Amino acid sequence: MPDTGIEVRDLHKEFPVRDRGLFGPRTTKTAVNGLDLDIPAGRITGLLGLNGAGKTTTIKILATLLRPTSGTVRVDDLDSVADARAVRRRINLIAGGERMVYTRMTGRENLWYFGQLYDVPKRELRARIDELLSLVGLTQAADTMVERYSRGMTQRLAIARGLINDPAYLLLDEPTLGLDAPIARDLRRVVARLAAEGTGVLLTSHYLAEVEELCAHVYVIADGRHLAAGSPAELKTATGSLGTVRVTVPQVPPAVAEVATRFGATRTPADGGGEILTLRSPDHMAGPLAAAIVGAGGAITALEIKEASLEDAILALTDGTVPGPVVLA
Ligand SMILES: Nc1ncnc2c1ncn2[C@@H]1O[C@H](COP(=O)(O)OP(=O)(O)OP(=O)(O)O)[C@@H](O)[C@H]1O
């Protein structure tokens, strides 16, 4: 089967809801409103948006847990509604914060059970379970009932469960939610390695640093609609998100004050004496500012550059500062 990726076209999902409580009039809530997404093999694709933007609904449709109201999802050219069984073999879902394993079974029993659900051949399954338990650091706790696991251990088991069928496509909905920093870092490494080996990954996360570290391409959605797409760097450029350059100087003679004014830098007293000149600007302005200060006879005691973050870009997009949709090449 060719690895053509996951192709989402004009996806819509409406939920029937009742306004004003149980006996109110029936209406519909549109959670996903015409999305197009491409999740190719071997790439980590991000899906970002504020609370209620439609991310979880989209991921659940891709995982075949929900049926779309209209539109199509094709996984390696298989239709996710008509060929749902075959699609399920090729995908898996890891959702942080949701109970995805059985507490009245051991870790190993859980993986055995889910492996059988995915039709993993028994002789392969035994070896794969050992491999996955070791990968998520649960070898010692393999035969302990999950109800005795800590939250982090349960989440690690959910990660192993998500990999049990060696999925071609991995859907990650807040996968590091509630994980300790070292375990979250290990998970990011595993995900990066899987993608490098050809797995297609879709990631939603509120930790934008994680998205920035992992994702080659990011879709930003709001109210179930497309708002912007591109690499984290492209999104930052498109929204004009600025970094911060901070230069500490021991004193500000008139020529240096004039440089600060010319660059539009703000001046604040530094803790250990002197002043800090702060410039909100693209990162590449640090060099010219420092050179101008030295050229004006000033001295520099510290120089700090903070790059623009993806968080700034997403905030700019979702608070309406940048009128969407933003079109990138
Ligand atoms: N079963 C449902 N019935 C009615 N409305 C729903 C249902 N599931 C989701 N919604 C609504 O659809 C919209 C999208 O929800 P969804 O959970 O997909 O958003 P999200 O982007 O994942 O948000 P979050 O970041 O908070 O997880 C929300 O307004 C939500 O209230």
Pocket test for ligand 1, best of 11, 13, 29 (most atoms within 8 A of CB): 29
pLDDT at 311 over 80: yes
244-254 pLDDT per residue, tens:
888 999 989 99
Cβ(110)–Cβ(164) under 8 Å? no
Report pLDDT for 293.
93
129 CA to centre of ligand 1 in angstroms: 34
Shared domain check, 110 and 57: yes
Query: What number is the ipTM of this complex?
Result: 0.96
Q: How far apart are CA 247 and CA 293, in angstroms?
A: 9
pLDDT for the residue 286: 84
Of 208, 237, 266, which residue constitutes the final position of a domain?
237
Contact present, 80 and 87 (Cβ < 8 Å): yes
Domain termination site, one of 204, 237, 270: 237
Instruction: Provide the CATH number for the domain around residue 257.
Output: 3.30.70.1150
Q: What token pair was written down for 189?
A: 């490494």
pLDDT in tens, 176-230: 887 888 888 888 988 999 999 999 999 999 889 899 999 999 999 999 999 999 9
Q: Are the C-beta atoms of 296 and 247 separated by less than 8 Å?
A: no
Per-position DSSP letters for 24-44, written without gaps between them? SPEEEEEEEEEEEEEE-TT-E
* Ligand 1 pocket, CB under 6 A: 15, 17, 29, 31, 49, 51-57
Residue 329 confidence class, pLDDT cut points 50, 70, 90: very low
State the Rg of the chain over Cα: 25
Instruction: Using the mean position of ligand 1's atoms as its centre, give its distance from the Cα of residue 95 in Å.
Output: 15
Range of the domain at 299: 243-306
What's the chain's average pLDDT?
89
d(CA 181, CA 186) in angstroms, rounded, equals 9
215 and 254 belong to one structural domain: no
For residue 25, the tally of other CB atoms under 10 A from its CB is: 8
Residue with the smallest CA separation from ligand 1 atom 29 is 52
Q: Which residue's C-alpha comes closest to atom 26 of ligand 1? A: 51
Specify the residue with its C-alpha closest to ligand 1, atom 11: 31
100 — pLDDT class (breaks 50, 70, 90): confident
- Ligand 1: residue of 11, 12, 15 to mutate (most ligand atoms within 8 A of CB) is 15
The answer to the question of residue 184 being in a domain is: yes
pLDDT of residue 279: 86
Q: Is the pLDDT of residue 281 over 90?
A: no
Range 259-286 burial, b when 16+ CB lie within 10 A, else e: bbeebebeeeebeeebbbbbbebbeebb
- Ligand 1, atom 10: closest residue by C-alpha: 31
Q: How far, in whole angstroms, is CA 278 from its chain's centroid?
A: 31
- The answer as to whether 314 is a domain residue is no
Split at pLDDT 50, 70, 90, the class of 328 is very low
Within-domain flag for 317: no
Ligand 1 center from residue 181 Cα (angstroms): 27
Residue 167 scores a pLDDT above 60: yes
Is the pLDDT reported for residue 315 higher than 60?
yes
> What residues have CB less than 8 Å from 212, skipping those under 6 apart?
232, 309, 310
Q: Which residue has the higher pLDDT, 266 or 318?
A: 266
Strands (E), the chain: 6-18, 26-39, 44-48, 70-75, 78-79, 91-95, 169-173, 200-204, 217-222, 225-230, 243-249, 266-269, 275-281, 302-306
Tally DSSP H helices, then E strands, for the chain: 11, 14
**Is residue 205 in some structural domain?**
yes
Exposed/middle/buried for 96, CB within 10 Å: 0-12, 13-18, 19+?
A: buried
Q: Is residue 300 part of a domain?
A: yes
Question: Environment class of residue 234 by beta-carbon count within 10 Å: exposed (0-12), middle (13-18) or buried (19+)?
Answer: middle
**Whether pLDDT at 283 is above 70:** no
CA of residue 218 to ligand 1 center, whole Å: 20
| CB-based contacts of 240, cutoff 8 Å, min separation 6 | 316, 322
Q: Is the pLDDT of residue 319 over 90?
A: no
Query: Are 196 and 73 within one domain?
Result: yes
Give the max Cα distance, the chain: 79
Where helices occur in 63-201 by DSSP H, the ranges are 84-90, 107-117, 122-135, 151-162, 181-196
Q: Report the separation in Å between the CA atom of 32 and the middle of ligand 1, taken as the mean of its atom positions.
A: 9
Nearest residue (by CA) to ligand 1, atom 7, is 15
Quote the pLDDT of residue 327.
45
| pLDDT reported for residue 149 | 93
CATH at residue 18: 3.40.50.300
Strand partners, 9: 72
In a shared domain, residues 155 and 286: no
Count of structural domains, the chain: 2
**Hey, whose CA ends up nearest to atom 28 of ligand 1?**
52
Pocket test for ligand 1, best of 18, 26, 56 (most atoms within 8 A of CB): 56
